[in-house]
A and B are shown apart, each in its own frame.
Chain A
């Protein structure tokens, strides 16, 4: 007789996908073990709320130890993790891989932008013949977006609600929290975009504006990237993992670096093996089902490193597409100095973390008429205002007529808040040159083979980046300003490196065809029915609308399916 196993499901990872999977499965009464590669982390106790930059080493600037600044929530992570290298194919372009090592993963410092993918986004191949269609439609995912937004708490409603823009779905009434008032520079930027015929929408952000589920409403101070001790900003560590733990059905083990899915004799996954980061011990745990949610590339790495006689190229990889169709977001930015903002009276521009407005893609008509040299859209994110000064404040002196001494203080005051920042975030088409594979020459400090990334932007993306820059330059010009950064319009120079926008998705895409995809529309691997992937790896395309909300909606849907199948005895 088989030993009864204490866990129904093992979840690898605790970020957006893993956190949501644990929440759903534990609430449904399944016994869940969550394995997180990093340390335990409690935003309520560790977040530097209100701390000013002069209290931090080097005024809080970025260093190799803390690449997004001293107060950034990321623990033991960044573009490099000590002892855990990855490589880029020297013949291609560099790919950058951001990894944290902490409970909650990247939800602890994420940008919180929570846009729904639109109806076009699920059928891109049908529209323009590029990439692949999703095996689901917007209508199928819409109810899961609703439920996800209700739990996460998403702002984007209120007086600006109901913009009804093409391929930019709204939420049903009552779900979104009201958007805070626009900041001064946002009023100006909106007017500038509207003068170009480009509509502006309220930002949809995972920052709550009214108390809910033991979380306080945003109090409009302290940057969200530090984490949020009052739980207004969504982190799985404050919103999803605690209620899952309260059910008594979830156990969390941190510092557990999973490296293989272990297969049983009946073509079922029997569990996973991990290395305890402190002791170096290898430990094997078993369950009736396994969910990988370690992040797109890490989940692929685990699959590729899980080699068996039946799966010599890695478990669930009979299609040969694990690691393939890796995508990031197209990014390009400019900054400008706007004289009409000079000398405006002081005001509190903190607001909620991030902008209160954004600019959804407006060029569907132009693309339909064949007027643009790239097929997919981008949205624009904006920044500026009289924010808490960091070291960059010194750059205001570049606009000063007084280099030093008497009069410089007045110039600094006059220029403060007159700089604006514009960033484009666009859709990349999956291509054959962008993928991850196991590097046969290199292992990390645990002895686990590492990933080698291959990357090459195509003309679609490069042309799109150039268009972003031209749009920004036109806007800054209309506002009477000068472009201070991002002055070039060469798309190849403008485009951010692969991975740099930290929206890497793909590597185990969902599909309707077992030969060209790794998982079905539920995130269940075609090859192994009790093995699921529920993170960014399963996205078959990467629309401009930042992926986290969709990762959570797909995880909620996939985990619900998993629970139903488990109850029916189908796994």
Chain B
């Protein structure tokens, strides 16, 4: 796999730059010792809904982003015409999520970042190459280990990472296309399900006796 390149739009990138600059001006020096500087607040209680931005700094390292990109595509491989998650920016969304200042994403921050570091180190230990480089078979093997062994410390990491991958993917127009979401189009009359679909349901309801 070629290295993942972030698919952040220019407006968002500029917003981060200005947020980071503002933070640098005010943050105490000790904060610089961390690998990241977190913005103190989220988007506020009255954000511009027509021009949305998530104004916090991204905290994933380049390495973590690369590992995440490989993992998203192992979870949901490309199946033309349906793109792989890394082709539509899902790794950037996961970075946005784990970087968010909101408390409900804080658990994920630790689970995901620790998990990405762990799986990369584990790949080096078992296959003498990082997770992004150890080859497809090894990548699948390691994913299968944490997916199926529910007692594994890192099963929770798999579970949360898969949730973010699937949520990130199917909330996009490409995801709509794949899963079969046909709405969000204006129509003069609401037709309801077509007759053949209703007939299918009737048959199934008859079978269970309702």
Interface of A with B (CB < 8 Å)?
Answer: 39, 46-48, 50-66, 70-71, 75-78, 82, 180-184, 187-188, 191-192, 195, 217, 219-222, 226, 340-341, 344-352, 386-397, 403-406, 408-409, 412-413, 416, 478-480
Determine if A54 and B172 form an interchain contact, defined as CB atoms under 8 angstroms apart: yes
- Which of the residues A62, A64, A221, A395 comes within 8 Å of B183, measured between beta carbons? A221
Whole-angstrom distance between the Cβ of A356 and the nearest chain B Cβ: 8
Task: Tell me whether A391 and B171 are in contact in the complex, defined as CB-CB below 8 angstroms, given that A346-B180, A348-B182 are known contacts.
Answer: yes
Determine if B168 and A413 form an interchain contact, defined as CB atoms under 8 angstroms apart: no
Chain-A contact segment, one of B19-27, B31-39, B98-106, B118-126 = B98-106
Please list 24 pairs of residues, one from A and one from B, whose beta carbons are closer than 8 Å in the complex, sorted by A's number.
A46-B49, A52-B173, A57-B53, A62-B104, A63-B100, A78-B45, A180-B192, A219-B186, A221-B184, A340-B204, A344-B200, A344-B201, A346-B181, A349-B183, A386-B181, A387-B183, A389-B179, A394-B162, A394-B170, A404-B144, A404-B162, A405-B74, A405-B75, A409-B79
Answer whether residue B1 sits at the interface, using C-beta atoms and an 8 A cutoff. Answer: no
Nearest opposing residue in chain B for A186, CB measure: B192
Answer whether residue B166 sits at the interface, using C-beta atoms and an 8 A cutoff. Answer: yes
6 nearest CB pairs, A to B? A181-B192, A346-B180, A350-B183, A57-B54, A219-B186, A391-B167
Contacts of A351 in B (CB 8 A): 190, 192
Determine if B184 and A52 form an interchain contact, defined as CB atoms under 8 angstroms apart: yes
CA distance A126 to B171 in the complex (A): 52
CA distance A124 to B54 in the complex (A): 51
Task: Tell me whether A479 and B210 are in contact in the complex, defined as CB-CB below 8 angstroms, given that A57-B52, A394-B163 are known contacts.
Answer: yes
CA distance A48 to B76 in the complex (A): 30
Nearest opposing residue in chain B for A45, CB measure: B50
Determine if A404 and B74 form an interchain contact, defined as CB atoms under 8 angstroms apart: yes
Nearest opposing residue in chain B for A343, CB measure: B200
Whole-angstrom distance between the Cβ of A476 and the nearest chain B Cβ: 12
Determine if B50 and A59 form an interchain contact, defined as CB atoms under 8 angstroms apart: no
Nearest opposing residue in chain B for A181, CB measure: B192
- Which of the residues B50, B102, B190 comes within 8 Å of A220, measured between beta carbons? B190
Determine if B182 and A347 form an interchain contact, defined as CB atoms under 8 angstroms apart: yes
Answer whether residue B28 sits at the interface, using C-beta atoms and an 8 A cutoff. Answer: no
Nearest opposing residue in chain B for A222, CB measure: B184
Task: Tell me whether A76 and B46 are in contact in the complex, defined as CB-CB below 8 angstroms, given that A181-B191, A183-B193 are known contacts.
Answer: yes
CA distance A324 to B54 in the complex (A): 43
CA distance A340 to B167 in the complex (A): 24
- Which of the residues A386, A405, A478 comes within 8 Å of B140, measured between beta carbons? A405
For B186-210 the 0/1 string (1 means CB < 8 A from A) is 1111111110111011001101101
| Given A63-B104, A345-B194, 10 additional A-B pairs, CB 8 A | A52-B176, A57-B54, A57-B100, A63-B42, A66-B43, A77-B45, A391-B163, A391-B171, A393-B170, A416-B180
Answer whether residue B133 sits at the interface, using C-beta atoms and an 8 A cutoff. Answer: no
Answer whether residue B97 sits at the interface, using C-beta atoms and an 8 A cutoff. Answer: yes
Contacts of A352 in B (CB 8 A): 190
For B114-154 the 0/1 string (1 means CB < 8 A from A) is 00000000000000000000000000100110011000000
Determine the main DSSP class of A at the interface with B.
loop
Contacts of A183 in B (CB 8 A): 192-193
Determine if B45 and A389 form an interchain contact, defined as CB atoms under 8 angstroms apart: no
Contacts of B207 in A (CB 8 A): 340
Query: Which residue of A180, A219, A405 has the most chain B CB atoms within 10 A of its CB atom?
Result: A405
Contacts of A386 in B (CB 8 A): 180-183
Determine if B45 and A76 form an interchain contact, defined as CB atoms under 8 angstroms apart: yes
Determine if B200 and A345 form an interchain contact, defined as CB atoms under 8 angstroms apart: yes
CA distance A413 to B178 in the complex (A): 8
CA distance A78 to B167 in the complex (A): 25
Task: Tell me whether A63 and B102 are in contact in the complex, defined as CB-CB below 8 angstroms, given that A48-B49, A76-B46 are known contacts.
Answer: yes
Whole-angstrom distance between the Cβ of B151 and the nearest chain A Cβ: 15
Nearest opposing residue in chain A for B52, CB measure: A56
Whole-angstrom distance between the Cβ of A1 and the nearest chain B Cβ: 46
Contacts of B46 in A (CB 8 A): 39, 75-76
CA distance A181 to B68 in the complex (A): 44
Determine if A52 and B192 form an interchain contact, defined as CB atoms under 8 angstroms apart: no
Determine if B47 and A65 form an interchain contact, defined as CB atoms under 8 angstroms apart: yes
Nearest opposing residue in chain A for B175, CB measure: A389
Whole-angstrom distance between the Cβ of A468 and the nearest chain B Cβ: 21
Whole-angstrom distance between the Cβ of B88 and the nearest chain A Cβ: 9
Determine if A180 and B180 form an interchain contact, defined as CB atoms under 8 angstroms apart: no
Nearest opposing residue in chain A for B171, CB measure: A53
Contacts of B166 in A (CB 8 A): 393-394, 396-397, 412
